[in-house]
Amino acid sequence: MQSIIDAFNTKFTLIYLGLSFITFVLICEYIIKNKSSNKIQNVFLILFAFIFIILIGTRDKIVGADSERTLIFFTGARVIKSLSELKDIGIYIVSMLARSISDNYKTFFTFNAILYIIPIIIGIFNLTKKNRLVFFFIIVSMFFFKTMGINTTRQGIAFSFFFLALTMFSKKKWLSILFFIVAFFNHASIIIPIAFYLLSTKIKNVNLVIGIYIIATVLSLLNFNLNSFLGKIPIINILVEERMDLYYKQEYQLVYQTGFRINFFTFNTIFAIIGYITLNNLKKKIEHYDEYKRYYVCFMLASSFFFLMFSAAFSDRFGFLSWIFIPFLLLPYTQTNKKIGYLNMFGIFFICIALFLIFNLK
């Protein structure tokens, strides 16, 4: 069993290293020789997307802690008589579609892999015309990319459609809203970053979210119980009661680390600082400054919410709600061969490599 998991991890790492090598060569061309490679990057982007779909879609069901559990609808282990029984309808629909084609569970995994990877690729093409492979490399380097592909797959599909929605919001708002809805149907927790994104236009002063970030950190250090607080707010208490109570059950509290998580706080704070420095150096210099500020505001708000959830079990599941904004924070570095503040594309490349090695080569 372990050998199968190790074999998958080795394949994933080798593919990542191949992607890293090609990305590094193309970055050198761009920064040192000032030579654009956008066309060849598009080819490699599609190629690596296909490779990851095959790798993730054809994996054994023991790869990924929750992989086998996601098969309950596909295998018929759980029968649904009414859609009202479902919390997240997306996985059920995908299961039924895959089942109609084949009873091989890898068909279901492949459907999931396609729904995870393809919206990201479309989103990248929507988002930028420059250095698309470099931006894809940034996403793949994030430790949650692999996890959401093989383990928390519902979150992964929700992320990919959320990502796609963000890239279309300023161009085709109605289509963006549709993708927000698709994301929500796959994992209801995605409503939190959706709400933050819609709220972000109302926040003009970045210092406000920095203040919220600091307050959330202090409250987290004091082991603030967010569930108890939300339970006292009318309407909100009805919406969150069932899901939030689960994370505060005593049996989970005993086996899962709760309380202030210095590792997660440090990780998010590093990107909060990078984002702040980037924002200040981009001010009034680029066309999409306001959009970048929205990403930064969303990251800070989602991080604050994450910190307040440290008192709950499985708090890292809420971490992904902030981590999904990290690639957007690094996007400006893929658009220029100059430094932005203290970093350029080389700096971001090595940060990404370090993150991958830290979280994948244990």
pLDDT at residue 236 greater than cutoff 50: no
**What is residue 244's predicted lDDT score, i.e. its pLDDT?**
54
Phi and psi torsions of 343, nearest 5°:
-120, 155
In the numeric block, the tokens 């050198």 are attached to 28
Q: What angle do CA 28, 129, 205 make, to 5 degrees?
A: 95
pLDDT at residue 332 greater than cutoff 60: yes
User: Per residue in 24-47, pLDDT tens?
Assistant: 999 998 888 888 888 999 999 999
In the numeric block, the tokens 């879609």 are attached to 57
**What is residue 238's predicted lDDT score, i.e. its pLDDT?**
45
Q: Which two tokens stand for residue 20?
A: 């890293």
Q: Looking at 158-167, 244-253, 277-286, which range is the least confident one?
A: 244-253
C-alpha to C-alpha distance for 113 and 98, rounded to whole angstroms: 12
Q: Please give the average per-residue pLDDT across 50-71, as a whole number.
A: 85
**What is residue 237's predicted lDDT score, i.e. its pLDDT?**
44
pLDDT at residue 147 greater than cutoff 50: yes
Q: Please give the average per-residue pLDDT across 221-247, as a whole number.
A: 56
